[in-house]
Structure 1
Amino acid sequence: MNHRDDDFKRILVICTRQIGDVLLTTPLIHAARQRWPAARIDVLGFAGTLGMLEGNPDIGERIEVEPGSGWWRSLALIRRLWRRYDLALITQRSDRAHLYGWVAARVRAGLVPGNASLGWWKRLLLDHAAVVNGEDTHVVMEKFGLLDPWIEQRPRNVSVTPPAGAALPADLDAALRPRAVVVHVPSMWRYKQWPLPHYRELIAGLLADGLQVVMTGGKEASDREQVAAMRDLGAEPELVDASGRLSLAQLTTLLGRACLYIGPDTSITHLAAACELPVITLFGPTNPQLWGPWPQGASAAQPYAVRTSERTQRAGRVILLQGPNDCVPCSRAGCENHLNSRSDCLQGISPQRVLAHARSVLSPVKD
């Protein structure tokens, strides 16, 4: 079906996943803005995730839905959305996302799995089904398939739009030095967690090099506990604990003033890459071809291999490190395939290796 001539006035982008997924939807949103410059583009997502869109000039309203809320609790939202939009762009393959799209818009484009027997009913609800294989196409790129009926050519160069910056807390602003290194210690799930002893050795090495280290993390107790395990390595202002204190907009400001970011496979690593500072990221079971941090302004092509013989990949200002294991990446939830599993491949990324890359990145600006 070709809708190339349709002049949509109201567009809804549906992204009901985590904050990193929301951030990586911004290239699609920007492409939609370029195609329909006069349209109102709203975004629907889970409560607590849409802060990644703060100050985004391409977006009108941010509509929040509580994760896990049943359809009975969603009746008010359904009434509010009912055929309010001309076009829905459904960026997730979940049942809920597709049902919201059907409720909201008269024309719908959505992502569907390559296996036609999976989610067959979703295809029946769509005017355009963008088939994804989930194997070797980066999630940033797969979303552009939603616009194929309406654009002649996909963007040649692609950037992610970070939140607009916000002022830092006064004490952090005063303490921050020009050559600060931001280290993000926590991971939401253990199978993505680089070992805490490794972080301790890395941070100790950075401090010994005379660098200021600012540690980031969320407000959750687990995040605070993991960052707290590093505090005895130094005192402020050399070692600063900013965990649980910053909004996503404030993180944008912090990252914009740092000289290097080091972190795991997590949403803040994607944000750091979008802020265009050098990034060193530690990848374990996750396939970087799908989820590697997008290098700003990169050509619309796959920036990563599944792995390289050196287990080190460079894309723009991003250095992606993988473990030495032959099974990397397995695309499972760690060695035991559950959220609290160990990941031997992450254990195999030594602190000395990460520190060597950090020194290489920072060497041109050493005093």
Structure 2
Amino acid sequence: MGKNSSEKGQVLRDDIGWEALAKYVKEKSPSKIFIITDENTNKLCLSIFLEKKKFEFSSETITIPVGEIYKNISTCFNVWETLSEKGADQKSLIINLGGGVVTDLGGFVASTFKRGIPFINIPTSLLAMVDASVGGKNGVDLGHIKNQIGVINLPELVVLDTAFLTTLPHEHVTSGLAEMLKHGLIHSQTYWERIKNVDFSDKVEFEKLIWDSVEIKKEIVAKDPFENNLRKTLNYGHTLGHAIESYFLENDDKPTLLHGEAVAIGMILATHISAEIVGFPQRTLNDVTETILNHFPKQTFSKNDIDTVIKLLVFDKKNRNGKVLFVLLEDIGHYKTDCEVDNSFIYKAFEYYKNF
């Protein structure tokens, strides 16, 4: 990965990443540098960034509020206005320093301001490292519906440094773990077995797992950048996961779920549906469910909750002609895309989740 130093979207780690960033700034000599953070990353990660960066160049920081509820057009509007007021132009550079909300929104802001200015992602959460920062998907939510507005546009570079993970509360680490478990399910039995038995205290092995997870996603995106077939597998568990996340976000009686917490539920449901429709092995289904529930607390769903979640599925971006399409697995590493799923299978999957 990243043999060619000018390869757009390359993901480089630790010192190599920081050196590539310094080289980029030196060669491109941007007119101005803007760092987009949220309130948390401004407080916890900006000092790490300033200490590790290997270039001398003054920058301006633009800080957005924390949380998925601010991943919307009005936040973009504020950032666009700030960029405009501070004299950003097409030769400026945006550095997105944060988790998935910052990298998604910052990439979208950069891709659209003055018809597109260069941006670099420095993911600070596990979720952003293994998911949001790779593959060039940028965008915002429309109301409580996830990622309805956006573009695919690669960053100039992604700098991945696990030093930022020390700033995270534990539930944010497990939120990122959900995407790594997903990579195991869609990729191979070998990676699944390794990630299933993850030991967060073994720093060396955990860093290897993170990097392998990035490689899995990178390889998939390289083969299918515009999601015609293989890249759809990265949505495993996300069709129902996003709907659950949206529903919990808009419902005052429910806790707000982190992205990974919602996707974890979505993966259990998708794996049960896979067992019912395309023959995913029952024993492996139970293993998947047990593994996920070891890391993620179970949520409760009433009949009304499930009805509403199913109604939200119509907003899924993979749908065609009004049909909801799922990614299902015949086994670990063996996928089928564009599967139509009758609602009865979804109700049965929720029943399985509740009673497991």
TM over 0.5: no
What's the TM-score once normalised by structure 1's chain length? 0.31
The two structures have a TM-score, normalised by structure 2, of 0.32
- Please tell me whether Structure 1 or Structure 2 has the larger radius of gyration of its CA atoms: 1
